[in-house]
Structure 1
Amino acid sequence: MAEILKAKVLLVDDEELFLAALAKRLEVRGMQVSTVTRGEDAVAIADKQAFDLVVLDLSMPGIDGLETLKRIKARQPDAEIIILTGEGSIRTSIEAMKAGAEDFLQKPVSIVELVNKISEAKDKRTHILEKKSVKEIEQILQTKAW
């Protein structure tokens, strides 16, 4: 039986059959998955919803994965993004990591490896959000005259 992982994931890939198959494999493991086939749509949906992780292809029509990554990170610096591509190079992976990608995985990827990466990203995001909440509470307490 597959491990259940409660995570909200956005998959972005222009290969619709791959996208549908990967979404099903993640949903079976308990994840809530949204899919889009264009970088522009990924930026728009990421502006409206919070995701534990964005899994992003590099090669897409319109804005490519690297530009999509940069736009999402500009709006949401805490966004966790993994690049998953079949056309990556060392140079591209370094550029993606510098732009804020958490990891760079080559297709075909083991579902176990991807689920592990999603779990790690979710844990990291949860920790970051908890730290932000504590700081916000501390600021509120400091501004109140008890």
Structure 2
Amino acid sequence: MSEKVLIVDDEQEFLDALAERMRARGMDVTTATSPIEALALVARRSFDAIVLDFQMPELDGLETLKRMKDANDDVQVIVLTGHATVERGVEVMKHGAMDFVEKSADINSLTEKIQEASAKKLVIAEEKTREKIQAILEEKGW
């Protein structure tokens, strides 16, 4: 099963290069060059992981992250930045990012994080299904 990944970055060259490298690793990659475009995609489709640039026009990564999590709390977001600080990292993690990494991150490390995000999303989905089944069983008195 290939991971469904959305990569969001306003730098087209970086976006294309990263998408190509992820596709070479067998991932199903969708790209967006703006936070607004990304939010529209997230509203229509399900992704195993979202790789989100922190610094973009229109909305910064933190605001985009908040909106994505508001729309779907299960979404797994890895925030990328060219200017990492501990404060930024803490802030995005508080708002539900799965991870916060430098743009210069090793491609193998990023691939592992995407695979972790996919696995985490699957566990969340299984738990929600289990809870729904339990609620139905209790409601029906079985």
TM over 0.5: yes
Q: 1:114 maps to which residue?
A: 110
1:82-136 CA distances to partner (integer Å, 9 max, x unpaired)? 0011122211111111111111100211110001101111111100100101111
**Is residue 59 of structure 1 aligned with residue 59 of structure 2?**
no
Aligned positions of 1:39-78 closer than 5 A = 39-78=35-74
The count of corresponding residues between Structure 1 and Structure 2 is: 142
Using the TM superposition, give the Cα deviation of residue 40 of structure 1 relative to its aligned residue in structure 2, in angstroms.
Answer: 1.1
Deviates more, 1:65-74 or 1:132-141: 132-141
Task: Using the TM superposition, give the Cα deviation of residue 75 of structure 1 relative to its aligned residue in structure 2, in angstroms.
Answer: 1.1
Higher deviation after alignment, 50-59 or 81-90: 81-90
Q: Which residue of 2 aligns with 1:96?
A: 92
Backbone CA RMSD of aligned residues: 1.2
Q: Secondary structure at the match of 2:70?
A: helix
Residue of structure 1 in register with 2:15 after alignment? 19
Structure 2 gap ranges (5+): none
Q: CA deviation at 1:145?
A: 5.2
Structure 2 counterpart SS, 1:114: helix
Do residues 31 (structure 1) and 27 (structure 2) align? yes
Match status 1:131 vs 2:127: yes
Name the TM-score, length of structure 1 as normaliser: 0.93
Alpha-carbon distance in 2 for matches of 1:87, 1:14: 15
- Cα offset for 1:78? 1.1
The whole-number CA distance in structure 1 between the counterparts of 2:141 and 2:132 is 16
Q: Does 1:80 align with 2:76?
A: yes
Give the share of equivalent positions with the same residue, in percent. Answer: 46
TM norm structure 2: 0.95
Distance 1:133 1:145 in 2: 18
SS of the aligned residue for 1:68 comes to: helix
| Structure 1 alignment gaps of length 5 or more | none
Amino acid at match of 1:38: S
